[in-house]
Structure 1
Amino acid sequence: MNYVSKMLGAPDISVTLARAAARRVYGHSNRTNPRAVPTSHRYRVEEVPPALPRALFDTHFAPLTERLPSVTYEMQRYLRRAASLRLAELISGGTWRQCATALAIPENSARQTLNVLGRAFAPDSLWPIFENVVDHIAQELDESDARVDYVKRRRLMAQWHLPADHHYAMCQDLRKLRTLREQSNPSPIEVLVWSAVTEAEYLHSPILRALRLSAEGGGRSLTLSIHRLVRPTSPVGGSLRLRPTD
């Protein structure tokens, strides 16, 4: 493995060779990714969402998900995060941990993504399929005239809070969500709006991050409330209306 890591770090290694060796190094959190030479893509790292939007995932990922034994909610979350990390890698040539910083994704989340997908992809050597899928998404981004600066969005939303009257108006016919607002401060809806606007995972929201870093080490009850809203076993009412936004 040391030899492979040194080989992949060589400045004159071809992209073809790097991809051929990818199965042996992807999934090891203490190894760098196969070197990706920055390409001539038109999109910028700032225009890569922290979590691949579900519409793009549903459109492009069938060639990969059809090869996996099961695609749970959690696996979809890892795949969407990995796609964004790979899109950033194609532009910067950096490791996924370096790309995570640019996308405001915790480094340990990038490391965990590599480990999880490494185990899932290794038996059938699926990394090249994953890379081909993301290449198609990169091409679609290149051709889009409506790219978004997600760094700017995150900056604008960093201190945003949902006014109480706006929350009540949004939940006028959704009693359960009104009750959650009365019981929770901050509101679960506030976190979900941030997630929808920034195309980022709600777990990485500034609100939850601040709660986790607080002296009380809070955030668990709010996280569970959001989790129940977006992943109900039998979604009804407000949960059914919220679920497609996740």
Structure 2
Amino acid sequence: MKSSLHLTRGGSVRHLRRVASLKLAEMSGGGTWPQCAQALCIPWNTAQHSLKTLKEKLKPHHLWPALGQSVETLARHLDCGTQRIDYQHRRATLQRWRLPDAHWRELSDGLGHFQQGTTSPSNAAATVLIWAEVTQGDHLHSPLLSSLREAGHNTHQLVASINQLRTPANRKGTKRELLHRIEAYAGRLGATCDPTSVTIPPDHDASPL
């Protein structure tokens, strides 16, 4: 699968993850791909776009079957695992979660210059990044961004802010420190969401700090 992974570096990594998730859902639960997309909280039009994009990249190189084989190998590896995370449960738990203002102040403490500029890191950007890390979900379809779109709000600046933090070239200095803090926070929050831990209500402000 090395060749196919090489083809899908950059902007297409997201498509690879979506399609692999769809295939895993199909293998484990059956059903149509639209049903699998619904179970994974992926809009069907988004799933279709990823399928089309990935097929266009892989089929000319005869790598589409290799993707299926790789997913089957991954499924066997997951079957052998003794510890599994229920990401669907995490997504349900965090459906209405937002990063408390006090926690954002702690995460950004000492990084005051981030308060400048329309695309500077913000509480909202951190909320989306933490949700994506905890749930391994697509940040573009996080509950916060989805609710803003449904309410008719423009999300371009927020998405640009998130993308600036996610860009590898920007992972340095204070931005790298902020990402480290966000990842650590997400790790603690994720542990509180799992069924073996004390489950937090979906509308509760979790306090992993």
Shift in Å at residue 237 of structure 1?
A: 2.1
Give the whole-Å Cα distance in 2 for the aligned partners of 1:102 and 1:210.
19
Which residue in the other structure is 2:26 paired with?
89
Contact 1:212 1:219 in 2 (8 A): yes
Q: Taking structure 1 as reference, are residues 202 and 176 closer, same or farther at Cα in structure 2, changes over 3 Å only? A: farther
Which residue in the other structure is 1:62 paired with?
2
Identity of aligned residues (%): 35
Give the whole-Å Cα distance in 2 for the aligned partners of 1:164 and 1:87.
37
Q: Taking structure 1 as reference, are residues 136 and 189 closer, same or farther at Cα in structure 2, changes over 3 Å only? A: same
Which stretch shifts more, 205-214 or 168-177?
A: 168-177
Letter in 2 for 1:65: L
Determine whether 1:223 maps to 2:159. Answer: yes
Q: Please give the TM-score of this superposition, normalised by the length of structure 2.
A: 0.77
Give the whole-Å Cα distance in 2 for the aligned partners of 1:188 and 1:102.
25
Give the whole-Å Cα distance in 2 for the aligned partners of 1:63 and 1:144.
27
The correspondence of residues 151-166 of structure 1 with structure 2, limited to 5 A, is: 151-166=88-103
Match of 2:151 among 193, 214, 237: 214
Which residue in the other structure is 1:148 paired with?
85
Match of 1:240 among 152, 176, 183: 176
Which stretch shifts more, 191-200 or 227-236?
A: 227-236
Q: Taking structure 1 as reference, are residues 83 and 238 closer, same or farther at Cα in structure 2, changes over 3 Å only? A: farther
Q: Taking structure 1 as reference, are residues 185 and 229 closer, same or farther at Cα in structure 2, changes over 3 Å only? A: closer
Match of 2:111 among 167, 171, 174: 174
Q: Structure 1 regions of 5+ residues with no counterpart?
A: 1-60
Shift in Å at residue 233 of structure 1?
A: 3.6
Which stretch shifts more, 176-185 or 112-121?
A: 176-185
Give the whole-Å Cα distance in 2 for the aligned partners of 1:159 and 1:110.
24
Shift in Å at residue 132 of structure 1?
A: 1.0
| Higher helix proportion | 2
Give the whole-Å Cα distance in 2 for the aligned partners of 1:130 and 1:64.
8
- 3-state SS of paired residue (1:155): helix
Shift in Å at residue 240 of structure 1?
A: 3.0
The correspondence of residues 88-167 of structure 1 with structure 2, limited to 5 A, is: 88-167=25-104
Contact 1:78 1:113 in 2 (8 A): yes
Shift in Å at residue 103 of structure 1?
A: 0.5
- 3-state SS of paired residue (1:187): helix
Q: Taking structure 1 as reference, are residues 182 and 137 closer, same or farther at Cα in structure 2, changes over 3 Å only? A: closer
The correspondence of residues 4-43 of structure 1 with structure 2, limited to 5 A, is: none
| Coordinate RMSD, CA, aligned | 2.6
Question: Which protein has the larger Cα radius of gyration, Structure 1 or Structure 2?
Answer: 1
Q: Please give the TM-score of this superposition, normalised by the length of structure 1.
A: 0.66
